[in-house]
Structure 1
């Protein structure tokens, strides 16, 4: 159905996302920080990357810049996950190369809608 990389350092949020993805029929791999995310992204192919922006050390926007430099994964859609959505953040994330963003706490209906929209847009027939 779809393979998704989830990059999130909060165990509670990771557990919620894992549950939402599993119950929606998606497969996922998980990374707790930016370095692990890049390593996993280079070794696997994903249909979508859910990327926490506030990661320790190597933040999400820095990870996104690195993703966009790697030919094999630069076209993979990335959805930003952020706890501090402020005015102008959506534009900043889109300009950086994200396909959209989901604010935390996660609205389950909105999460599923964005996920389905991204996955359907990227399916190859």
Structure 2
């Protein structure tokens, strides 16, 4: 199916998301910080990116802005997965260019459904 890039500094979340997406048939590249996420997205084609907001080195918001600024990744679907749930945080995620925003804790099934929905929209 799709190749999904997961960036989260929490190993438990990264492993859970990777497991669920693999279970759904996706290929996953998982990294632990924003700089690694940006590097991975530039070096290998991915179909969708899941970003935590608070990560060492570079925030998910900054990664998203960088992806949107580069022609090769400008239309790449991006979902923010974060514990930041205030209205201003959600607005900041969408302002940075995110296509969807999921707050922690989240349902792995819901995450998988949102990934599938966004991939389907991007394919049309």
Q: Distance in 2 between matches of 1:87 and 1:41?
A: 28
Who is 2:52 aligned against? 52
Q: Distance in 1 between matches of 2:38 and 2:118?
A: 21
Q: CA deviation at 1:103?
A: 1.0
Is 1:84 aligned with 2:90? no
TM superposition outliers: structure 1 runs of 4+ over 2 Å: 87-92
Which structure 2 residue ranges, 5 or more long, are not aligned?
A: none
Instruction: Please state whether the residue corresponding to 1:122 is helix, strand or coil.
Output: helix
TM-score relative to the length of structure 1: 0.92
Normalised to the residue count of structure 2, the TM-score between the two structures is 0.93
Verify: 1:41 aligned to 2:22, yes or no.
no
Aligned residues: 124
Shift of 1:88: 3.4
Unmatched tracts of structure 1, length 5 or more: none
Deviates more, 1:57-66 or 1:84-93: 84-93
Question: More helix by proportion, 1 or 2?
Answer: 2
Secondary structure in 2 aligned to 1:68? helix
Cα displacement string for residues 33-67 of structure 1 (whole angstroms, at most 9, x for unaligned residues): 11111111111111100011011131111111111
Note if contact 1:4-1:50 (Cα within 8 Å) is conserved in structure 2.
yes
8 A Cα contact 2:51 2:80, kept in partner:
yes
Aligned-residue RMSD, C-alpha: 1.3
SS at match of 1:42: helix
